[in-house]
């Protein structure tokens, strides 16, 4: 029997590490499956987006991939039907059928989870970036230096970090928003590995609206922090009542004229003729 070149303590450490890695990977895959089931149920029940509270702004990204996902679903269903006819061995029909049906379910459930789990701009200025059950990154408001609409077409996998420290979350090969951070942020990739990024590029159908909403939240927070809220107006001193009444009476006073019945002479209250020698 050939012995391992590693000493016994090292062999035990390697086995424990392998079991830990496999255990985390299996646990993460199981968590993905449960999230897929919840997302599919929420999508079928039309219960609306998950994790979007009052005052939050949802940033959907699923429409950019709808055509591709439904195309994959059609291909998966066609493959299931073709393989059921082409395979000549009956003992292979059942496992292949099970695997193909699971593939059809996975494509539909993944798209449904993306629909009901959009990106979220919180009312406090925080940002939650998601992609179905595979990715969930929370960026605190204090870490965000700038959020701008910026269309790009990165050729990268989901959650891949470039040499400049930018993590890409493309949908349909495209991103429309870029968030720059004040310091690196650690996050978990789809398969469980850790990474750090100083910026995130992600896709949202309403990129301009999200950018404007973030600017409003930031400006409101700065105004409150600097104490620049507008002061209530000072009450004006009341005007004298007598002068007001007098001016009103003067304006409303009619001009009076008295005329004699024969019409020879007329006297007016506005002008008084002076008599000579009087």
The pLDDT tens digits of the residues spanning 12-59 come to: 555 555 555 666 777 777 888 888 999 999 999 988 899 899 999 999
Q: How far apart are CA 34 and CA 44, in angstroms?
A: 15
Task: Name the range with the highest mean pLDDT among 12-26, 41-55, 238-252, 253-267.
Answer: 41-55
Q: How far apart are CA 22 and CA 267, in angstroms?
A: 117
Q: What percent of the chain has pLDDT over 90?
A: 55
Lowest mean pLDDT among 46-55, 196-205, 237-246: 237-246
Please indicate whether residue 97 or residue 248 has the higher confidence score (pLDDT). 97
- Taking only Cα atoms into account, the Rg of the chain, rounded to an integer number of angstroms, comes to 38
Q: How far apart are CA 18 and CA 31, in angstroms?
A: 20
- The model scores a pTM over 0.75: no
Asked whether residue 181 carries a pLDDT value surpassing 90, the answer given is yes
Q: How far apart are CA 159 and CA 82, in angstroms?
A: 35
């Amino acid at each position: 029997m050939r012995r391992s070149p590693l000493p016994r303590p090292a062999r035990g450490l390697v086995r424990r590490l392998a079991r830990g890695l496999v255990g985390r990977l299996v646990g993460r895959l199981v968590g993905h499956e449960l999230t897929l089931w919840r997302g599919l149920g929420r999508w079928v029940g039309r219960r609306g987006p998950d994790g979007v509270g009052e005052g939050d702004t949802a940033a959907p990204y699923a429409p950019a991939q709808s055509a591709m996902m439904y195309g994959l679903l059609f291909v998966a269903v066609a493959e299931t039907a073709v393989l059921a006819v082409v395979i000549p061995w009956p003992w292979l029909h059942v496992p292949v059928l099970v695997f193909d049906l699971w593939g059809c379910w996975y494509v539909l459930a993944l798209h449904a989870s993306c629909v009901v789990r959009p990106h979220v701009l919180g009312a406090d200025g925080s940002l939650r970036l998601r992609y179905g059950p595979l990715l969930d990154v929370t960026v605190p408001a204090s870490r965000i230096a700038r959020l701008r609409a910026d269309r790009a077409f990165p050729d990268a996998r989901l959650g891949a970090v470039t040499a400049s420290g930018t993590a890409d979350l493309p949908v349909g090969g495209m991103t429309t928003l870029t968030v720059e951070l004040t310091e690196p942020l650690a996050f978990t990739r789809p398969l469980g590995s850790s990474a750090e990024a100083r910026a995130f590029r992600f896709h949202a159908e309403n990129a301009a609206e999200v950018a404007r909403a973030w600017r409003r939240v930031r400006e409101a927070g700065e105004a409150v922090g600097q104490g620049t809220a507008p002061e209530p107006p000072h009450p004006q001193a009341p005007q004298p009542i007598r002068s007001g009444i007098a001016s009103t009476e003067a304006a409303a006073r009619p001009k009076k004229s008295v005329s004699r019945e024969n019409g020879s002479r007329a006297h007016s209250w506005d002008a008084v003729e002076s008599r000579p020698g009087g």
